[in-house]
Amino acid sequence: MSKNQTVVVLDFGGQYKELIARRVRECAVHSQILAGDTPIQKLKEIAPIGIILTGGPHSVYKAASPHTVKELFELGVPILGICYGMQLMAYTLGGEVKPCGVSEYGTIAATYDDPKCALFDGLKCETTTLMSHTDFVARVPDGFRSVAHTADCPTAAMCDESRKLYAVQFHPEVERTAEGTKLLRNFLYKVCGAAGDYNIDDVIERQIKAIREQVGDRQVVLGLSGGVDSSVCAAILEKAIPGQLTCIFVDHGMMRKNEGDEIERAFKGKSLNFVRVDAEKRFLSKLAGVTEPERKRKIIGEEFVRVFEEESAKFAGSFLAQGTIYPDVVESGLTTGAVIKSHHNVGGLPKDTKFIGLVEPLRYLFKDEVRALGRKLGLDETLVSRQPFPGPGLAVRCIGEVTKERLDILRDADYIYREELAKAGLCYDQFFAVLTDMRTVGVMGDGRTYNYVLGLRAVITSDFMTCEYAHIPYPTLDAISSRIVNEVKGVSRVVYDITGKPPATIEWE
């Protein structure tokens, strides 16, 4: 854990808790997410310089909703309540919270009524905020005053400067709130007195020291996928314990074109042992005849574990390294107590393991911090900026049965798509090709064809929780489509997905 000054983010079921913690770190202050019911004694032991209360989907005046104790606000620590966190602060301290006459959802115009309030120092008085609430603070607690409003919310922010208690009904952590990060920075530096002592260079030094102390002269084995997390994990382990790391790359045959070779080139020749296991035939035989997406995922996941276990058995008595990152821990409920999504790499070593311990140097880092760490460690930008790629690889971008022939069609089409976007100087947050299981009639030369429909997807997103489709210029789409149908045998029609998230997901399966 960090020895830096820390701001604790107490989670009350807010969907943006990770985003709050990330924003705090972007302001050079360390953050830690804890459950909303974390005991007061534990908070005293952490000794945070500030506490932020997250939003949540509840009504604070209902008995079943999450609550807190009055002692939280008597710690003498500056506190910022956000959305539900504001209502919780008001309710706990004797204010009144009621259902809204008019609920506010989306971007709402707000007015900061008191420019002397520390939160609003240097901010515009008239601004836009992201609101998402059906309740509001109808009466502020004694000692507080309302310092912001909207057309339908008379108390959009409140504060009690004497106790350093502040709260906002809107979400300053999201991009749709203008100057939201500046507001958070004001809380951190003008209210909490942050020193700004958190940076990636310190993280590298601390983790290298921690790895060396934990591992000593023992060997470490890492399952290397070539993704951002495992690649950065490998890089920092190699720097900390050169010559003691073995990276096992299970090549299941479902990577993008040339990707397996690129991963091998990136790690061959370094002071580590790189093992590439060619398991393509093994995986494809298990997937024969399987079309259901979740069944594909399960088969690939189970087979991956078996292959890795067989290969890693040669290194019994070693440590196991994993590229676990902070969102994995949070979403698995080991930080907040609420399971959002279970992650296979969270929860410690499996039973009956031959490994002697677990090494997780990225466990308390967010993805953007992991990328920054990779750049500091000198990793190739193609690895550091690699787009999200599903664990089952192209198997879940190949709709229907997965065969080598269909994977090769998809690989070639996806490669052309990426190449043409690069030629046009275009890069989106995520983009890929999907081979559908639908065939369509076409005409090529003087003959009739009946080949596959290929889908293209490109999205713009800041957090991958929502997205908009990318408006790829028509000339570029035309060039992509023309090349694919002319160069990739088996494809006679190309379509472009213009659906956002929601209602769709980013991936098709």
- Residues 38 and 140 reside in one and the same domain: yes
Helix (H, G, I), strand (E, B) or coil at 128: strand
The pLDDT of residue 332 is 58
* Token digits of residue 143: 């000692």
- Residues 40 and 151 reside in one and the same domain: yes
The mean pLDDT of 181-200, rounded to a whole number, is 96
Q: Is 396 among the domain residues? A: no
Q: Is 45 among the domain residues? A: yes
The pLDDT of residue 340 is 38
Q: Any idea which of 251-260, 280-289, 320-329 has the lowest mean pLDDT?
A: 320-329
Contact predicate 241/215, CB 8 Å: yes
Helix (H, G, I), strand (E, B) or coil at 104: strand
- Residues 291 and 313 reside in one and the same domain: yes
| CB environment 457-496: b (16+ within 10 A), e (fewer) | bbbebeeeeebebbebeeeebebbbebbbeebebbbbbee
Q: CA-to-CA distance for 501 and 469, rounded, in angstroms?
A: 8
Q: CA-to-CA distance for 259 and 412, rounded, in angstroms?
A: 12
- Residues 230 and 318 reside in one and the same domain: yes
Peptide bond connecting 172 to the previous residue in cis, omega within 30 degrees of 0: no
Angle (CA) 301 305 306, round 5° = 120
> Given pLDDT bands bounded at 50, 70 and 90, which one contains residue 293?
very high
Q: CA-to-CA distance for 226 and 250, rounded, in angstroms?
A: 10
- Residues 53 and 172 reside in one and the same domain: yes
Q: CA-to-CA distance for 26 and 45, rounded, in angstroms?
A: 24
The pLDDT of residue 226 is 86
Q: Is 209 among the domain residues? A: yes
pTM (two decimals): 0.78
- Residues 151 and 250 reside in one and the same domain: no
- Residues 422 and 297 reside in one and the same domain: no
* Token digits of residue 100: 């809204």
pLDDT at 465 over 70: no
392-432 per-position pLDDT tens digit: 999 999 999 999 999 999 999 999 999 999 999 999 999 99
- Residues 177 and 234 reside in one and the same domain: no
CATH of residue 79's domain is: 3.40.50.880
- Residues 370 and 272 reside in one and the same domain: yes
H helices of 241-317, where?
Answer: 259-267, 280-287, 293-312
Q: Is 1 among the domain residues? A: no
Q: Is 443 among the domain residues? A: yes
Peptide bond connecting 503 to the previous residue in cis, omega within 30 degrees of 0: yes
**How many Cβ atoms are within 10 Å of 125's Cβ, its own excluded?**
12
CATH of residue 470's domain is: 3.30.300.10
The residue among 161, 135, 133 whose CA lies nearest residue 147 is: 161
Instruction: Give the residue numbers annotated as catalytic, written as ranges.
Output: 83, 171, 173
Tell me how far CA of residue 489 lies from CA of 132, 406, 409, 413, in angstroms: 49, 10, 7, 10
The pLDDT of residue 346 is 40
**Total number of domains constituting the chain:** 3
The mean pLDDT of 140-166, rounded to a whole number, is 96
The residue among 58, 35, 171, 62 whose CA lies nearest residue 107 is: 171
The residue among 108, 88, 109 whose CA lies nearest residue 97 is: 88
Side-chain-facing half-sphere of 323: CA atoms under 13 Å: 21
* Token digits of residue 21: 């913690």
- Residues 68 and 183 reside in one and the same domain: yes
Q: Is 503 among the domain residues? A: no
Q: Is 389 among the domain residues? A: no
Q: Name the one residue in this structure whose structure tokens are 């990276």.
A: 247
Q: CA-to-CA distance for 390 and 9, rounded, in angstroms?
A: 29
Last residue of a domain, one of 174, 191, 208: 191
The pLDDT of residue 349 is 52
CATH of residue 320's domain is: 3.40.50.620
Contacts 24+ apart (CB under 8 A), 137-141: 137/86, 137/87, 137/90, 137/95, 137/96, 137/97, 137/167, 137/169, 138/95, 138/96, 138/97, 138/98, 139/90, 139/95, 139/96, 140/90, 140/95, 141/89, 141/90, 141/93, 141/94, 141/95
The residue among 423, 429, 413 whose CA lies nearest residue 487 is: 413
Collect all residues with Cβ–Cβ distance below 8 Å to 269 and sequence separation of at least 6: none
Q: Exposed, middle or buried: residue 74 (CB in 10 Å: 0-12, 13-18, 19+)?
A: exposed
- Dihedral (C-alpha) 115, 119, 124, 127: value to the nearest 10 degrees? -120
The parent domain of residue 437 ranges over 403-496
The pLDDT of residue 331 is 66
Q: Is 501 among the domain residues? A: no
Last residue of a domain, one of 138, 170, 191: 191
- Residues 246 and 167 reside in one and the same domain: no
Last residue of a domain, one of 384, 412, 446: 384
The type of residue at 434 is: V
233-258 per-position pLDDT tens digit: 999 999 999 999 999 999 999 999 99
The pLDDT of residue 345 is 43
The pLDDT of residue 341 is 39
Arithmetic mean of pLDDT over the chain: 91
The residue among 335, 332, 322 whose CA lies nearest residue 31 is: 335
- Residues 162 and 249 reside in one and the same domain: no
DSSP string across 232-258 = HHHHHHHHHSTTSEEEEEEE-S-SPTT
50-107 per-position pLDDT tens digit: 999 999 999 999 999 999 999 999 999 999 999 999 999 999 999 999 999 888 888 9
